[in-house]
Structure 1
Amino acid sequence: MSTAKKPNPARRSERSRQAILDAARELVSEVGYAKVSIEAIAARAGVGKQTIYRWWRSKGAVVFDSFLALSEGAHGEGMALPDTGDIEADLKVVMRATVAEFADPDFEAPIRALNTEIINDPDLAAQYREKLADPVDEAKKVRLRSAQRAGQIAADADLDLVLELLYAPLYQRWLHRSGPLTSEYADALVDLTLKAFRP
C-alpha cells in the first residue's frame, strides 16, 4: 500500500513567494517600474492578487523585497567586509564590487525603481534603512574601526562622514547617469577618501 505524500504548505508558500519576487524583478527590468502592476506580477508568478497582498501592502514593498532577495548574497545578515589588514586594498575590493553591482542591469533596474519609491514613501524609506542600509553601514563601520585601531584612519574620524565621502559620489554618478562606473573610478574614490582621513 503506497502512502501519498501530503503537499507541504510551507514549501508551496515559499515557492509562491519566490515566484512573486522573481516576477517583480523581471517585470521592472523589462517594462520599467511605472508600468508594473500587482496584477502583472501575480499573472507572471502564477498566483492570485490576494496572495501578494497577504505578504506586501504595495507594489513598492514587493519591489523592495525583490531587491533585498537579489542582494542577500552580498548584503545578508552577518555581512563582513574583507579585513586583510590593509584598509586601502580592502575598500578597493568592496568599491569595485559595488560599482559592478550598480552597472549590472539585473541589479540596476530594481534598485533604481526602489529609489524612486523611497523618495515618495516614508514607510518604505524606513523599511529600507532598517532592513538594508543600516546593517550594511554598520558592517562597513566595523571594518573602518579596525582601520582606526591599526592607525590607518584618524582615530577621531567621523565614520558616517567617511562613508558619505566614499559612496555619495558613486551614488550621484549612478543616479544622474553622469559618467561611467568603472574600477578606476572606484579606486579613485577610495584614494581620495583615505587621503582625507589618514592620521
Structure 2
Amino acid sequence: MTEAEKTSRRKQCILNAVSEALEEYDYSHLTVEDIAARAGVGKSTIYRWWKHKSDLVLDAFKEQTAPVFELDFQQSLAFNFNQQLLKLSQALNHPVGRALLVVMAEHREAAGEFFKQYLLPRREQMRKLIQVAIERHEIIAEYPFELMLDTLYGPIHYQIIFFNRIPDQTYIEHLVSLVMQPILVQNSP
C-alpha cells in the first residue's frame, strides 16, 4: 500500500469516527481525543490534517453528502429543486448535519470556508441548471435568481434550526411551487 493510500485510509477512518461519535452525542461533547481513539490514531495525526473539531465536522459532512447532491440536467428545474431540498433536509437531519449547523453558527471562519469550498460550487451548478431551464423555455430569463435560490434554501434551515422540524416532501413541493410560480414561462406577459 502506498503512503497516499495509507493517508487516505486514515482520513476516512477519522471521518467515520466523527460520524459515529455524533450518532451518540452532540457537537458540544465531541472531542478530538474520542475521535482519535475511535479511529485508532493519535491526536497528532488528526491535528496534522485538521486544526479544530469544527473542521472535522465540515469534512465529515462533505464526505457524506458529496455524491448525494448531483443535479440531473435531463430533468426540469422544479424536479431538481424538489430533489435537492429533500436531500438537504435529510442531510441536515443527520447528526453530522446538525453538528454542521452548530459549527456554522459558532465558527464564522469555518462557516466562510464551508461556503467557499462546498456551497459555492453547488450554487454554480444550480446557476448552470437555471440557464438550461431558460434555454428550454421552462422559465423566464429576467429574474433575481440569486434571491430565488436564497428563498428556496432559507426555509429549510429555518424549519430545522428554529422549529426542530424536518421539512417533508409535501412542504418542499409547496415551497418550490410557490417560489417558482413567478418565473414559469406560462406566467410571463
Q: Same fold (TM over 0.5)?
A: yes
Q: Is the 8 A contact 1:148 1:154 kept in 2?
A: yes
Distance 1:90 1:123 in 2: 30
* 1:74 match: secondary structure: coil
Pick the structure with greater CA Rg.
1
Distance 2:55 2:101 in 1: 12
CA distance 1:21–1:92, change in 2 (3 Å): same
Q: State whether structure 2 residue 64 is matched by structure 1 residue 70.
A: yes
Using the size of structure 1 for normalisation, the TM-score is: 0.84
**Which residue number in structure 2 is paired with residue 117 of structure 1?**
103
**Which residue number in structure 2 is paired with residue 14 of structure 1?**
8
* 2:66 match: secondary structure: helix
Question: What amino acid maps onto 1:26 in structure 2?
Answer: E
Structure 1 stretches of 5 or more lacking a match? 1-6
Using the size of structure 2 for normalisation, the TM-score is: 0.88
Q: Is the 8 A contact 2:92 2:98 kept in 1?
A: no
Q: Quote how far apart the aligned CAs of 1:102 are.
A: 3.6
Q: State whether structure 2 residue 116 is matched by structure 1 residue 130.
A: yes
Aligned residue pairs, count: 185
CA distance 1:92–1:157, change in 2 (3 Å): same
Alpha-carbon displacement from aligned partner over 1:150-185 (angstroms, at most 9, x marks no partner): 332221111111111111112211112354521111
Q: Is the 8 A contact 1:148 1:155 kept in 2?
A: yes
Distance 1:167 1:143 in 2: 16
Question: What amino acid maps onto 2:114 in structure 1?
Answer: Y
Distance 2:133 2:73 in 1: 9
Q: Is the 8 A contact 2:19 2:96 kept in 1?
A: yes
Distance 1:22 1:123 in 2: 24
Distance 1:129 1:183 in 2: 25
Structure 2 stretches of 5 or more lacking a match? none
